[in-house]
Amino acid sequence: MIEFQQVYKSYGRGIDTLADVTFGIAQGEFVFVSGPSGAGKSTLLKLIAGLDVPNRGTVLVNGKNVGKLPGRFRPYLRRAIGTILQDVHLLSDRSAFENVMLPLTVTGHSRAAAAKRAHAAIERVGLSGKDGLRPQELSGGDQQRLAIARAIVNRPGLLVADEPTANLDRESARRIVEVFRDFNRVGVTTILATHDESLITDYATRVLLVKEGKVTDGGKRTPRLGGEVEA
C-alpha cells in the first residue's frame, strides 16, 4: 500500500530531514512512527498523506507516485487518506457537525447523504450529542475525536495521524488510540506518529523509528494490550 524507496527530503537548509529512507507498509497494518521531536516524523507522514513531495526517491501510496503526481491530481489522492495533524485544524466558526461535513462538501456529496455520513462518523468516534458544539467548546480529547471523525467520514482506506495524543492526558490518549485501533480492526491501514513509549508498548504491532532523518524498521511485535500481529 505504501512504498518508500531511497527517499530524501530537505527544506533547503542543506540538512536532509529524511535521508535514504526505504520501507513498505502493507494494507491493514497498524504502524506507530516513533522518534524524538524534530527527527522527521511529521515530514514522513506529510509525504504519505500527499501534503508534500520528496526531493529524491519514490513514495508510492495506493499505487500512485506522490512525487510525480501532477499537482491537480494530488487532492484526489488526499481524499483517499484520512489525515489528522498534530494541530487538529478544526474550524472554530463552525459546529462539530459542520466540521465533519467539510470533506463531503469538498467531494460534492448531496446535503442529505453528507449529513447521514457525518452523523454516523460523529457517532463512531463517540461524540453523539455534541454535533452542535463549536470545537472550542469541546475538550482536547473530544477535539481529537472530532478530527478523527472528519478524517474517516470519506471512508478512507488509510489513516495517518501525527501526534494525535500529544496534548492529552494518559487516559484520553489511550481512548483515542483505541478509536484508531477500532478502525484498523475493520481493515483501515493506520499510521500513528507518537513519542509516547507507553502507547507503543501497549498498542503497536509495528514500529518505525525515525532518528536524524533515518528510518529504522522495528519489525512486527506483539502489543501488551492484545493487538494482533499481521502475518
Partner 1 sequence: MSPLIRQHRYALGVTLRRLLSQPFSSIANILVITLALAIPLLGATALMSLRPVANHLTADPEMTVFMQVSATPAETGAVADRIRRDHASEIRGLRVISRDRALAELKANPAYAQALAVLPDNPLPDAIVVTLEGEDLAQRSAKLAALWKTWTKVDMVQVDSAWVQRLEAILRFARASLLFLALVVAVAVLAAVFNTVRMQAMTQREEIAVARLVGATESFVRRPFLYQGALTGAVSALIAIGAAALALTPLNDALLGLARSYGAEFALHLPGLPVLAAAVIAAGVLGALSARWSVTRSTRF
- Which residues contribute to the site for partner 1 (CB under 8 A)? 51, 71-72, 75-79, 83, 85, 89-92, 102-103, 105-111, 150-151, 154
User: Considering beta carbons, is residue 109 or 195 the nearer one to partner 1?
Assistant: 109
User: Considering beta carbons, is residue 9 or 109 the nearer one to partner 1?
Assistant: 109
User: Considering beta carbons, is residue 9 or 150 the nearer one to partner 1?
Assistant: 150
Give the residue from 43, 37, 39, 82 showing the smallest Cα distance to 59: 43
Distance in Å, CB of 75 to partner 1, minimum: 5
User: Considering beta carbons, is residue 108 or 129 the nearer one to partner 1?
Assistant: 108
Distance in Å, CB of 150 to partner 1, minimum: 7
Distance in Å, CB of 77 to partner 1, minimum: 8
If DSSP states are collapsed to H, E and C, what string results for the chain?
Answer: CEEEEEEEEECCCCCEEEEEEEEEECCCCEEEEECCCCCCHHHHHHHHCCCCCCCEEEEEECCEECCCCCHHHHHHHHHCEEEECCCCCCCCCCCHHHHHHHHHHHCCCCHHHHHHHHHHHHHHCCCCCCCCCCHHHCCHHHHHHHHHHHHHCCCCCEEEEECCCCCCCHHHHHHHHHHHHHHHHCCCEEEEECCCHHHHHHHCCEEEEEECCEEEEEEECCCCCCCCCCC
Distance in Å, CB of 29 to partner 1, minimum: 23
User: Considering beta carbons, is residue 83 or 143 the nearer one to partner 1?
Assistant: 83
Distance in Å, CB of 59 to partner 1, minimum: 17
